[in-house]
Structure 1
Amino acid sequence: MLVFSFGAVFAADSNSNTGDLKAFKCAAVEFNPQLNERDENINDLYQVVETAAKNGAKLIVTPEMSTTGYYYKNRDAIKPFVDTIPGITTKKFETLAQKYNAYIVIGMAEVDQGTGIYYNSAALVGPKGYMGKYRKTHQWETEAHWAAWGDLGVPVFDTEIGKIAINICMDSAFFESSRIAALKGANILAFPTNSSAQALAALQARAVQNGLYIVSANRSNTENGFHMIGASAVWAPDGSKLAEAKFIPTSAEDVNEPTILYGTIDPAQYNNDGKKRLSERRPELYKDLVLYIGPWDYTKNTTPHDVTAVALQYEPVLGDKNANMAKIGQLIEQSVNEAKNQGKTVDLIVLPELSATGPLSDKGKVQQLAEPMDGSLVAGFKELAKNNQTHIIFGFAEKENDKLYNTAVLIDPKGEVIGKYRKTHLDTADKSWAEKGDKLEVFSTEIGKIGIMIGYDAAFPEVAGVLSVNRADIIAIPSSWNGQYGKKIEANTGMSANKYPENAMCLWDSIAMSAECYTLVANFVGTEQNYQGSSSLYTLDPLYGLDQPLALSQDGEEFLLADFTTIQASWWWNQEYLILQRRPHFYKPLVY
């Protein structure tokens, strides 16, 4: 048996959420069951879980389908190996939980005693016995041949170590599952999985978005040709990776013996920035999340477009429109010329938030610099778009009557305004002067449907979710990011066939992956706010080799020139499949 241990157990400060709770050890058990050997698997798993409990783990998470193995052709194939919950399996592990005063999450195949329906489930047992179960909401294709979609929503269980929720594997591809857990008060997300990359890669963003500890337990071997990569992990609510098991790149390196990964959970961190952001959500704007428009959505774009896009990155001269417009004009000229040298035409240019003034926080100054839509600034960008025969998305302080908005405008190659978006989630600087926007919208263009977010919107996954439901092909994010939300990607670099840039940011990547939209981010560098550049293109599936994320430096004035093809209808995973696998009936807690 392999054991990886990280972190020391230490006392946590008391606060209103944790009382006298102290930090405790958790364990992710990488257990590789034998297919069709349920009873033997239960006995072997029991021994590994007991080892973790003896070593002081108070929360122990096992992989998905850990008592049966994963691949079953149909209901008849798995019928001899399913179990009720509660049942034989939970009764056996209850003895361990009681003996060691621990909580154990067991991934297993369930049969509902009353209906005979099968589910891919996970059970939670604790010191007082069986506590409850979760049935996987979003299934992968394989288990859909024998299991029904989960019907319990996302329950949250109140325990002596915190509030625990469970998601399983494919659930992490859908931000809604973990978001609902957070909204229902969860502190910890237990995550049984059988993953080859996709499910694990999403977890850092899910931790950050929701202020959750996440304990993921994966397998580390190969079953019926499907290779699971190990790399079980413990994530902190700020997106820090606290512990990770060995990454197993191919079946040649399979580790069939059990591995236990230990980490530390500190209840003092249950009250964190991610949790606090939940109060800033705008449920009234998210109603489209409960729509199910697939598969016959007649508004979706069905034509792929080859797009050459540019993100501009520069240091703004705060409050000086003329100086900033000169920089912008120069960078646009350079990017268009570079594209011409490569035999390309630029289709889309995205600029940072408040492009011509730089970030603003003084209301008096904003009132001096703000302009209406028919002002000289919008007119100037219309000319730039027309002269360069390209779409441009730029940001400015918009004045309408006596109100001010942080706005982004989309202009077409003819110099016409296609639409505008007013920032709906305001950060501290915005709140000093700006009104909230009241609409999330997707705009139709010659290169596909484009959704727009601005800056801090990226911390709220519902925004990209609404844009995806409305079939955006591209998401543009004018930004002024200095690290105030999100974090560099810390997921194991070996997971992705096409490597991420060193300074890729997890929340921007999550927008592209969770919405299945190519996502273009333009950010500032420099100034006393220490803007961190990293203007980027995030893509649909670098994990399995479809496309390549790109990012600029953290401090250079430069442009990103990127090519991509929208929709990717023939790829194994795309927006169409994402839409078809959504389960909006369970998303209602997100919209009221």
Structure 2
Amino acid sequence: MERVTIALVHADIRHRDVAANRRELLNLNREAAGNGADIIVNTELGLTGYSFRSREDIAPLVEEYDGPVVQELSLIASRYGCYIVFGYAEKDAGTDIYYNAAAVIGPDGRLLLNYRKVTAEVRWACAGSPGQPNTFDTPWGRIAVVICSDTYYGSLARMSALRGADLLLVPANWPAGSLDPRELWQVRARENGVYLAACNRGGHDRTMSCEDAWSSVYSPDGEELFAASSCNSRVFSVQIPLENGMIPSKRARRLASRTPARYAPIYLDMRYATDMTSYCNLPEPGPLTVTCLPADPHDLFIQGRLDMLLDEQAGQRPDLLVLPAGETADRERTAGLVSGMASRLRVAVCTAIPGPEGFSMLCAEASGQLHVVREGCPESVMIDLDKARIALAGREELYHPEYVTALAKQGCDLVVCSTRSCNALDRSVLGSRSIEQVAVAVCSPDNAFICKPPIGHYRWEEVYTVSASHPCTAELDISLLRNKHFYDRLEFDLLLGKQN
């Protein structure tokens, strides 16, 4: 079987010791190339280390894009006929602006690409343009480069997929800490249907230990193909199988379900929307108690069964009850049951039912008023409850981060997904949607979870259950959810282009 070999140069980087780092990196790249690597990926800021207080602090250590280390790596690339990705602190010769950059060197030794990190370090680095080129073509397909926390926001990785990349390379400096990047990298691979290879580092930086920083590789399904950490320098080698000589991504299939017309609100500049309640004409916020019940939907509709499950909870009944998607095709009967259930229990109820054109999502308010939203409908439909604005979405729709950002910019507080199935990888993808500034509640017959947006670069807060006898319940502070901060360094023309 044909394969492409990727070498991850997981180096022990010494903070500020450029001479030692240079020797180490050149030796490791020679080793990787000599062992037959087709693509070599180095860590982020490999020459300098990561933590710097200011421009003045890093100024003696920056290099121009054609500096001595890039030139020496070019000799290695041309000698062995491989691609090399190298992370470094760049000084632009024309402007004296500093960037956190990654140079891509081709097998003929020429510089193919100089990518500048978009989510740059604010103390010293200028953010790269979201529209800058970040892909290069190889005999095995198109490959993209992003740097470390560029993978935190879903739309940044999505832009690489829209540019045709089948493999995403990530030079990184990211210890596990409060958010293990492996989960995010797994999500980015799966939601875009691409391979992802991340090269982390070892050693100790000025303000962090990288002993638990993992280098890893993921398949287009999100399967972890490789993961390892090391405090000492190591070269990890991973092989990706080819099909007809090309990287076999699932990008086209994943992107085929995008509906860019629904994502238009993502370009809105919300910096001055200090009061989302009045700006978006939202219901007055209040604490919203949400309960998800993973169980056979038929059982839940039996008279008294749902009442009993809710009464088993120690606290009061929720404001919003989320049920799994049903199996019945009798839409009118199910809709009537949901509406009657909501008015009888005096809680809002959400579920979904199948139909000839996909699932229809139902939300009955506590008054019994019923809202029906067809999955994939041309326009986003949101529902204002007493305390919150919610949106109903299908599982496949939530694989597109730009859709959830569009909902959030229209004042959505909570996205609700009733589905027939949700495995562990789906759970990570859907839970990560809370990064886009909304809470997420997902319910299937086998499990359910509710996620709150993270504060800073941390993992989202999650409540999870696999049993209807122990319902999944969370109280959402809607006032807090209205305090939204969006990451807008995005190429909106690309994300909204109808050709995608």
- For normalisation by structure 2, the TM-score amounts to 0.88
Hey, what's the Cα distance between the residues in 1 that align with 2:276 and 2:138? 46
Match of 1:168 among 147, 159, 162: 147
2:323 is aligned to: 351
Hey, what's the Cα distance between the residues in 2 that align with 1:227 and 1:306? 39
Hey, what's the Cα distance between the residues in 2 that align with 1:297 and 1:158? 44
- Cα 1:39–1:380 change in 2 (3 A) is same
Hey, what's the Cα distance between the residues in 1 that align with 2:22 and 2:251? 37
Match of 2:466 among 548, 552, 555: 552
Question: Match of 2:337, as an amino acid?
Answer: G
Match of 1:408 among 334, 346, 361: 361
1:517 is aligned to: 438
Deviations 1:497-541 (A, max 9, x none): xxxxxxx733222223x32433211113xxxxxxxx222233434
Contact persistence 1:518–1:566 (CA under 8 A): no
Contact persistence 1:309–1:349 (CA under 8 A): yes
SS of the aligned residue for 1:468 comes to helix
- Cα 1:438–1:226 change in 2 (3 A) is same
SS of the aligned residue for 1:455 comes to coil
Match of 2:451 among 520, 538, 545: 538
- Cα 1:558–1:295 change in 2 (3 A) is farther
2:134 is aligned to: 155
1:565 is aligned to: 476
SS of the aligned residue for 2:396 comes to helix
Hey, what's the Cα distance between the residues in 2 that align with 1:277 and 1:473? 26
Contact persistence 2:440–2:450 (CA under 8 A): yes
- Residues 1:88 and 2:9 are matched in the alignment: no
2:410 is aligned to: 470
- Residues 1:382 and 2:339 are matched in the alignment: yes
Alignment map for 1:93-492 (pairs within 5 Å) = 93-128=73-108, 129-139=110-120, 143-151=121-129, 152-197=131-176, 198=179, 199-228=181-210, 229-246=212-229, 255=231, 257-268=232-243, 270-300=247-277, 305-316=286-297, 325-326=301-302, 329-339=303-313, 342-353=314-325, 355=326, 358=327, 366=329, 369-371=330-332, 377-396=334-353, 406-417=359-370, 419-424=371-376, 437-481=377-421, 488-489=424-425
- Cα 1:337–1:521 change in 2 (3 A) is same
SS of the aligned residue for 2:38 comes to strand
Question: Match of 1:561, as an amino acid?
Answer: C
SS of the aligned residue for 1:163 comes to strand
Contact persistence 2:297–2:324 (CA under 8 A): no
How many angstroms does 1:154 deviate by? 4.7
Which region of structure 1 is more displaced relative to structure 2, 261-270 or 144-153?
A: 261-270
Deviations 1:28-50 (A, max 9, x none): 22223222222432222111122
Contact persistence 2:361–2:418 (CA under 8 A): yes
How many angstroms does 1:245 deviate by? 0.7
How many angstroms does 1:448 deviate by? 2.5
Hey, what's the Cα distance between the residues in 2 that align with 1:168 and 1:370? 48
Hey, what's the Cα distance between the residues in 2 that align with 1:567 and 1:173? 24
- Residues 1:590 and 2:500 are matched in the alignment: no
Count, aligned residues = 484
Question: Match of 2:174, as an amino acid?
Answer: S
How many angstroms does 1:547 deviate by? 3.3
Contact persistence 2:4–2:38 (CA under 8 A): yes
Hey, what's the Cα distance between the residues in 2 that align with 1:576 and 1:45? 44
SS of the aligned residue for 2:291 comes to strand
Contact persistence 2:387–2:478 (CA under 8 A): no
Match of 1:74 among 43, 50, 54: 54
- Cα 1:219–1:281 change in 2 (3 A) is same
- Residues 1:506 and 2:435 are matched in the alignment: no
Question: Match of 1:563, as an amino acid?
Answer: A
Contact persistence 2:417–2:443 (CA under 8 A): yes
Question: Match of 2:237, as an amino acid?
Answer: Y
Which region of structure 1 is more displaced relative to structure 2, 92-101 or 379-388?
A: 379-388
Hey, what's the Cα distance between the residues in 2 that align with 1:259 and 1:296? 48
SS of the aligned residue for 1:89 comes to helix
SS of the aligned residue for 1:333 comes to helix
Hey, what's the Cα distance between the residues in 1 that align with 2:63 and 2:361? 54
2:43 is aligned to: 63
Contact persistence 1:154–1:180 (CA under 8 A): no
Deviations 1:182-222 (A, max 9, x none): 11111211101111334432111111111211110112333
- Cα 1:472–1:89 change in 2 (3 A) is farther
Deviations 1:319-370 (A, max 9, x none): xxxx7732xx54431332023xx233312111223x3xx16xxxxxx5xx34
Question: Match of 1:96, as an amino acid?
Answer: I
Question: Match of 2:461, as an amino acid?
Answer: D
Question: Match of 2:155, as an amino acid?
Answer: E
How many angstroms does 1:64 deviate by? 1.2
Contact persistence 1:211–1:270 (CA under 8 A): no
Structure 2 segments unaligned to the other structure (5+ residues): none
Hey, what's the Cα distance between the residues in 1 that align with 2:153 and 2:305? 37
- Cα 1:343–1:325 change in 2 (3 A) is closer
Contact persistence 1:168–1:193 (CA under 8 A): yes
Hey, what's the Cα distance between the residues in 2 that align with 1:222 and 1:578? 32
Contact persistence 1:515–1:575 (CA under 8 A): no
1:30 is aligned to: 10
Hey, what's the Cα distance between the residues in 1 that align with 2:466 and 2:226? 29
Contact persistence 2:118–2:489 (CA under 8 A): yes
Give aligned-pair identity as a percent: 23
- For normalisation by structure 1, the TM-score amounts to 0.75
Deviations 1:98-119 (A, max 9, x none): 1121111111111111121111
Question: Match of 1:591, as an amino acid?
Answer: L
SS of the aligned residue for 2:424 comes to coil
SS of the aligned residue for 2:88 comes to strand
